[in-house]
Amino acid sequence: MTPTTGVKVRIQGLSKAFHTNGHEIRVLENIDLDVRDGELVCILGPSGCGKSTLLNIVGGFLPASSGEVTIDGSPVSEPDPRRIFVFQERGVFPWLTVEGNIGFGISGLPPKQKAARIAHYVRLVGLEGFETAYPQELSGGMKQRVEVARALAVNPDVLYLDEPFGALDSITRLIMRSELLRIWEAEKKTILFVTHDIEESCQLADRVVVLSARPGSIRRVVDVDLPHPRDLSSPRYLALRDSILEEIGLAHRI
Amino acid sequence: MNAKGPGPYRPADAPPPEKKTHAVEAILLPVLTAVVLVALWHAAVRLSHTDVFPSPLAVALGLGELARKGVLGIYVRDSLVRVAAGYLLALVLGIPTGIALGWYSGAARAINPVIQLLRPISPLAWIPVAIVLFGVTNSAAIFLIFLASFFPIVVAAMNGVRNVPSMFLHAGRNFGLSAPALFSRVIFPAALPRVLTGLRVALGVAWLVVVAAEMIAVNSGLGYLVIDSRNAGKRYDLVIAAMLLIGLIGLALNLLVGRIERLRAVRWGFNVP
């Protein structure tokens, strides 16, 4: 296994089937994908297409049925603090304060360094003044910021985001997207972002990986070669978005 | 336990309702109810010309008499010490047992049916067993209290651990926690609200059972006071006085444990604002 320059995450011939009550349910079929270092890739697909399963396998939470995931050339077999999985905002620990959550993964650091790191990420996600608040005292968007900050605080190379803004209202979701882009540009992480929202994928991604319905396989990989910040009414953006809509087989008239 | 009525409709962004009037009502209304009940009791005793059933005043005098004799404090203390002994024993053994059963599903499959079989048996049914094992002693009473509080604690701890959302476990593993760290930093705090609920239920049951336990096994305590007052001279004023004391102390214990549920690190599990 030789690491290929520039490739961070390599998915090769990956398939996954679940067995329930003697039935085999094929969820993912023959996925091949290379994600470059520092790239933001959106995995887009309809509900139940296996995109979350794909992210869980890449994250080391589920074994693949066949095929392999390598990161920096080493195969993935279990979760690793160098790659953090971000759930919807329900993943924050409700028994810890904002500070406690953000510092969760860095308990091994000397106290001063830990405090400085927490303060840095509190600032980065804009939660100054809420350091000692508990999650139940925060809005959904703020909880999601806590979870992103908790992930970033351990300084991972890769972030996996599983429909992270799915439970937020549409205004907060837009704000969170631009916040994510700002953080991504500041921290230069590789990001794999699972979503079923076409607009979201076009707004965020360097590349959009369009999955088919179950069993999920890659239908197409769309390069979104638009610089950030993106003009959401530019003809180029709209053309890209419409091509993905068509790929998924949706007429863009309701 | 957090049963709240639907309450009047409030828009989500309306400011919270006035807290102060609620606090006053929370004390004033129950006191008012108690006053009305005592008045009805007094009237009922007067109107029925009963010789057996004591009036509220007689009960109050009875309480004074017990206090003067110096037994009141001793009985309350003895009952509380017995409950504390049995309850703490149940807590110390029950929480680890429940957590282990919640975590090791194999152990739960083997042991849980036995627990579910023993759990519905009233602690009162264990009285003969307790006497065979410990004789008519203080230990027999403590054993009964232990049994009564052990099962609710085990079941609550087991369910608490079982119901830890997998998302929390995933996050803990993702941050590279070892098994002991995963337990102490994720599983235990995530299960804690349910464990506390179990502890509260168990304390209520323990206090219920102390009375029955003292009726058979010992000669001190509030349960003993109930049965002794009845047997030695039909002192129903003292019977009722003991009953009221038992109720008041039970209420105080419940309020005390309830305060723990308001601590910020566990409040999320009780959906109190």
Give residue-wise pLDDT tens across range B192-218.
Answer: 999 999 999 999 999 999 888 888 778
The domain total for chain B is 1
What's the whole-number average pLDDT of chain A? Answer: 88
- Which is more confident, B113 or B271? B113
Residue B57 pLDDT > 80, yes or no?
Answer: yes
Which region among B8-17, B139-148, B201-210 has the lowest average model confidence (pLDDT)?
B8-17
Residue B3 pLDDT > 50, yes or no?
Answer: no
- Which is more confident, B20 or B268? B268
Whether the CA torsion A67, A71, A72, A74 is positive or negative: it is: negative
- Which is more confident, A186 or B23? A186
ipTM, two decimals: 0.87
Q: Is residue B98 part of a domain?
A: yes
Instruction: Give the pLDDT score at B11.
Output: 62
Q: What is the pLDDT of residues A8-34, one digit of tens each?
A: 899 999 999 998 888 888 999 999 999
> Is B170 in Cβ contact with A61 (below 8 Å)?
yes
Residue B18 pLDDT > 60, yes or no?
Answer: no
Residue B88 pLDDT > 80, yes or no?
Answer: yes
Residue B273 pLDDT > 60, yes or no?
Answer: no
Residue B12 pLDDT > 70, yes or no?
Answer: no
pLDDT-based confidence at residue A253 (cuts at 50, 70, 90): low
In A, minimum Cα distance to B181 occurs at: A107
Nearest to A151 by CA among A83, A200, A94, A88: A83
| pTM of this structure | 0.81
- Distances in Å between the Cα of A30 and the Cα atoms of A26, A27, A50, A216, B222 are 11, 10, 12, 9, 74
Long-range contacts of B50-53 (CB under 8 A, 24+ apart): B52/B234, B52/B236, B53/B236
Instruction: Give the pLDDT score at A134.
Output: 92
What's the whole-number average pLDDT of chain B? Answer: 86
Interface membership of B167 toward A (CB under 8 Å): yes
Residues of B in contact with A134 (CB under 8 A): 264-265, 267-268
Residues forming a β-bridge with A84:
A159
Residues of A in contact with B167 (CB under 8 A): 87, 90-91
Domain span holding position B199: 52-270
Q: Is residue B112 part of a domain?
A: yes
Question: Taking a C-beta distance cutoff of 8 angstroms, is the pair A158, A8 a contact?
Answer: yes
Residue B92 pLDDT > 90, yes or no?
Answer: yes
- Which is more confident, B19 or A248? A248
Percent of chain B with pLDDT over 70: 91
Residue matched to tokens 């009791």:
B41
Q: What is the pLDDT of residues A105-128, one digit of tens each?
A: 999 899 999 999 999 999 888 899
* A66: phi then psi, degrees, rounded to nearest 5: -150, 165
Q: How far apart are CA A132 and CA A149, in angstroms?
A: 15
Q: How far is B114 from chain A (nearest CA, A)?
A: 29
Q: Is residue B250 part of a domain?
A: yes
The percent of chain A in helix, strand and coil, each rounded to the nearest 5, is 35, 25, 40
Q: How far apart are CA B218 and CA B40, in angstroms?
A: 35
Highest mean pLDDT among A51-55, A220-224, A232-236, B90-94: B90-94
Q: How far apart are CA B4 and CA B6, in angstroms?
A: 6
In B, minimum Cα distance to A86 occurs at: B171
> Is A95 in Cβ contact with B190 (below 8 Å)?
yes
Instruction: Give the pLDDT score at B265.
Output: 76
Residue B2 pLDDT > 90, yes or no?
Answer: no
pLDDT-based confidence at residue B145 (cuts at 50, 70, 90): very high
Residues of A in contact with B174 (CB under 8 A): 59, 79-81, 83-85
The 10 Å Cβ neighbour count of residue A99 is 21
Q: Is residue B3 part of a domain?
A: no
Q: How far is B119 from chain A (nearest CA, A)?
A: 31
Residues 6 or more apart whose Cβ sits within 8 Å of residue A219: A210, A211, A212, A247
Q: Is residue B61 part of a domain?
A: yes
Tell me the average pLDDT across A199-214. Answer: 90
Instruction: Give the pLDDT score at A254.
Output: 52
Highest mean pLDDT among A45-54, A182-191, A231-240, B89-98: B89-98
Q: How far apart are CA A45 and CA A212, in angstroms?
A: 6
Question: Taking a C-beta distance cutoff of 8 angstroms, is the pair B153, B145 a contact?
Answer: no
Distance of CA B203 to the CA centre of its chain: 3
Q: How far apart are CA B97 and CA B146, in angstroms?
A: 14
Instruction: Give the pLDDT score at B38.
Output: 92
Interface membership of A137 toward B (CB under 8 Å): no
Q: DSSP 3-state assignment of B271? A: coil
Instruction: Give the pLDDT score at B142.
Output: 92
* A25: phi then psi, degrees, rounded to nearest 5: -110, 115
Tell me the average pLDDT across B71-77. Answer: 89
* A180: phi then psi, degrees, rounded to nearest 5: -60, -40
Residue A88 pLDDT > 50, yes or no?
Answer: yes
Instruction: Give the pLDDT score at A1.
Output: 43
pLDDT-based confidence at residue A3 (cuts at 50, 70, 90): very low
Q: Is the peptide bond before B16 cis (omega within 30 degrees of 0)?
A: no
pLDDT-based confidence at residue B66 (cuts at 50, 70, 90): confident
Residue matched to tokens 């790929």:
A247
Question: Taking a C-beta distance cutoff of 8 angstroms, is the pair B198, B152 a contact?
Answer: yes
Interface membership of B266 toward A (CB under 8 Å): yes
Reported as type and span, the H/E element at residue A158 is strand A158-162
Tell me the average pLDDT across B236-262. Answer: 88
Instruction: Give the pLDDT score at A111.
Output: 93
Domain containing B133 — which CATH number?
Answer: 1.10.3720.10
Looking at residue A216, what DSSP letter applies?
B
- Residues 172-191, chain B: which have Cβ within 8 Å of A? 173-176, 185-186, 189-190
Q: How far apart are CA B99 and CA B156, in angstroms?
A: 9
Residue matched to tokens 């003809």:
A235
Q: How far is A212 from chain B (nearest CA, A)?
A: 26
Residues of B in contact with A135 (CB under 8 A): 268
Q: How far apart are CA B73 and CA B66, in angstroms?
A: 9
Residues of A in contact with B173 (CB under 8 A): 61, 78-79
pLDDT-based confidence at residue B6 (cuts at 50, 70, 90): low
Instruction: Give the pLDDT score at A2.
Output: 44
Nearest to B230 by CA among B220, B240, B221: B240
